[in-house]
Amino acid sequence: MSSRWYPKNGRVIFHVDMNSFYASVEMAFDPTLKGKPLAIAGNPEERKGIVVTSSYEARKHGVKTTMPLWEAKRHCPDLIVMRPNFDRYRTASKEMFKILADVTEIIQPVSIDEGYMDITACEHLGSPLEIADRIQQRISDELDLPCSIGIAPNKFLAKMASDMKKPMGITVLRKRDLSKKLWPLPIEEMYGVGDKTAAKLRNYNIETIGDLANYDVFKLKQLLGINGERLRNRANGQDNRPVDPEAVHEFKSIGTSTTLSQDTTDDMEIRQVLRKLANKVAARMSGKKVLARNVQLMIRYHDWKNITRSRQMNDYIHTSDDLFHIASRLFDEHWNQEPVRLLGITAGDLAEQKEVTQQLDIFSYEQYAEKEKLYKTIDELTERYGKNPFQDLTAASDRSHKVSTSFQKDFLDDYKK
């Protein structure tokens, strides 16, 4: 065993990514599905159903995630379509993370089918490649599921590495490999760059990850704010984030939704629901110490038609009042007066509180400072008495409700039990 794999002043990070997870779990449960084009979709009985994930056999025919079912079947007439079985996926995920926990306790689940591991202190178990191979084989032999593993000195590079060879790949990505393995990739393939950001970057002739890595940092900050500098650092292989078992997952957004007890057009009931949702989102933002610059409202009508509308702010927000008022305005602007079945609020464009410098002009500073005193007082009283003494009466029925997360994330500590 060579110590050269384990640097004295660095880390060795794995990103373990299950391949086509939902479809693979169904194939493990029913081996007759293996080798066939399979799609997991939310509502197979309706032509407007959406593909959640698909097997690699289906992908070869052009079937893609989020593709409407009618289009998927046009690409692949023999496509087998199944509803998701979330209990089955939870069980498989729990067993997968148990296998990872046999190697190290430093594990950060990201979602139901992926997580980071810090194996820096695992030199006694062999080289990183040997450890990765054993993990991959155990998951395959014991769970009959494929996975890919990225090995790198930090989380970002490990994530990029795990995407480079699928299914059943193991890829090492070192900083000295960036110019050959990472930089030639199209900018859209960089983790953390969505379609809108990619389009902005391409307008400035940033076509590849290498272009981003070598672009002027001040111009990027003008274009994308704090995120511009962060993305440039990542493109250069810089990422100091530790694998944090307590973080459970990283947030691109924080949201929650609820189905109403019955379809309603009652304005007061709708406001009460929006207030409860805003309180939940604000509580989770506070726990993660993040601020938001985008608020999205989702409305599902009685006929299951969904609409989402969002508002981008100039300044970051973090209070339930701000979330509630913005969501209420979005509702007033876009509600078609039809009965509402479900409502959801999502805070997006997040940034850590410590990274954000509030841009205040002379006219808003006094008002902002007074608000901050009030928020601080409320936080202190909440910490002392265990609840917010000024919580809105409209949220009274929700005080005992635990902060919840989405299906993909609300059980990720279960493997420790």
Catalytic residue among 114, 229, 352, 366: 114
> Side by side, which strands form the sheet with 51-54?
51-54, 38-41, 80-82
Instruction: Give how far the C-alpha of residue 176 lies from the chain's centroid of Cα atoms, to the nearest Å.
Output: 29
> Is residue 167 reached through a cis peptide bond, with omega within 30 degrees of 0 on the bond before it?
yes
Q: Note whether 191 and 159 are within 8 A (CB).
A: yes
Q: Which amino acid is present at 396?
A: A
Residue 46: active-site member: no
Residue at token pair 């990514």: 17
Between strands 290-301 and 254-264, the pairing is: unpaired
Q: Note whether 9 and 26 are within 8 A (CB).
A: no
Q: Is 303 annotated as a binding residue?
A: no
The span from the CA of 76 to the CA of 61, in Å, is 6
The span from the CA of 83 to the CA of 69, in Å, is 12
Give the CB-side neighbour count of residue 303, counting CA atoms within 13 A.
5
Q: Which helix (H) or strand (E) holds 262?
A: strand 254-264
Listed in sequence order, the residues at least 6 apart from 365 whose beta carbon sits closer than 8 Å to its beta carbon are: none
Alpha helices per DSSP H over 336-412? 365-385
The span from the CA of 397 to the CA of 79, in Å, is 46
Q: Is 113 annotated as a binding residue?
A: yes
The span from the CA of 15 to the CA of 408, in Å, is 17
Q: How big, in percent rounded to 5, are the helix, strand and coil portions of the chain?
A: 45, 20, 35
The span from the CA of 113 to the CA of 22, in Å, is 9
Listed in sequence order, the residues at least 6 apart from 148 whose beta carbon sits closer than 8 Å to its beta carbon are: 16, 17, 19, 162, 163, 165, 166, 167, 168, 169, 170, 171
Q: Output the known binding site for Mg(2+).
A: 17, 113
Residues that are catalytic: 114
Residue positions in the annotated binding site?
17, 113
